A = this chain, B = another copy of it.
Amino acid sequence: MILQPKYLTGDPAAINDFIDRFDVFLFDCDGVLWSGDHLFEGVVETLELLRSKGKKTIFVTNNSSKSRPQYQEKFTALGIPSHVDEIFGSSYSAAIYISRILKLEPPKNKVFVLGEVGIENELRGENVPFVGGTDPAYRRDMTPEDWTGLADGSLLDPEVGCVLTGLDLHINYLKLAHAYQYLRRGAVFLATNTDATFPANHSFFPGAGSMSTPLANMMGTKPVALGKPSQAMMDAIEGKFQLDRARTCMVGDRLDTDIKFGIEGRLGGTLAVQTGVNKKSDWEAEDAAAVPAYFVDKLSDLRAAAE
């Protein structure tokens, strides 16, 4: 059975019907609400319309470099009203996964972080002990003592039972070597997300996947990724918000993360917008990564809904 995605732009009756089907809307951010630092026109009003109809809005992002309060600052700077509790990032998802699902026990309950402060803040929020991360002790060249101490394990923290990778703008050989030695000794391998790149300044830059793929290549195993489209993230969202999946819709611009995330999570619906990575021709292709249930040109097309 091939489902034909329903086009909502310019069809107020269909938009009303679409909105009425859901209580909760999960929004991807970049490519949906904004592009880089450019807020799309009409986004604030569209979110206000949905909220005025009693809908819950949740923002789901694979961005791992910012904690939720840091990410909320971006919403505020762009003029989008939001609550920190509405924001769900892959760092938070990872922290929840470690604390509530992995439940690492002493003496192997520390996390070695290959990533930035956003991950550290979320781990702190869940009382998960960690090493690495932004610690200046790891921001330096290898020394002869590092080669011997990493090889024989004397420089490793025996309490580390997990390696968590995310976007690390301070990646270096010393950190990679630490992460690899912990993994060789049996640490659980997690990633906030494995996006190869991320958009910035109207171009693309190395993403969190650039930190995990060398380790995956060395180990011959992939990390458990906690960002979209991982269902570990959906489980964490459901656990936190107690939402009814059948009455929830995922809104996004990427088929291989956002739309796939909603479909595999068996949500009631998925809505694709064409202001980001993927366009209509992508889901009409034979090898489409996923096909949305609904689509619009841009998010603010939903404002045509009747009052």
Instruction: Point out residues on A near B: beta carbons under 8 Å.
Output: 141-142, 147-148, 150-152, 168-173, 176-177, 180-181, 184, 196-197, 200-207, 209-211, 213-214, 217-218
Contacts and interface: CB of A to CB of B under 8 A. Distances in A.
Contact of A201 (B152, B171, B184, B200): B152
B141 A170 contact: yes
21 contacts: A142-B169, A148-B201, A150-B201, A150-B203, A150-B205, A151-B201, A151-B202, A151-B205, A168-B173, A171-B172, A173-B206, A176-B206, A176-B210, A180-B205, A181-B203, A204-B218, A206-B214, A210-B214, A210-B217, A213-B213, A213-B217
Given A152-B201, A180-B197, 5 more contacts: A151-B202, A152-B202, A171-B173, A177-B205, A196-B217
Contact of A147 (B180, B201, B214, B218): B201
> Top 4 nearest A-B pairs by Cβ distance?
A151-B201, A151-B203, A210-B214, A196-B218
Given A218-B197, A218-B210, A170 B168 contact: no
A131 to B, nearest CB: 19
A207 B169 CA distance: 20
A210 B212 CA distance: 10
Contacts of A147: 200-201, 205
Contacts of A151: 200-203, 205
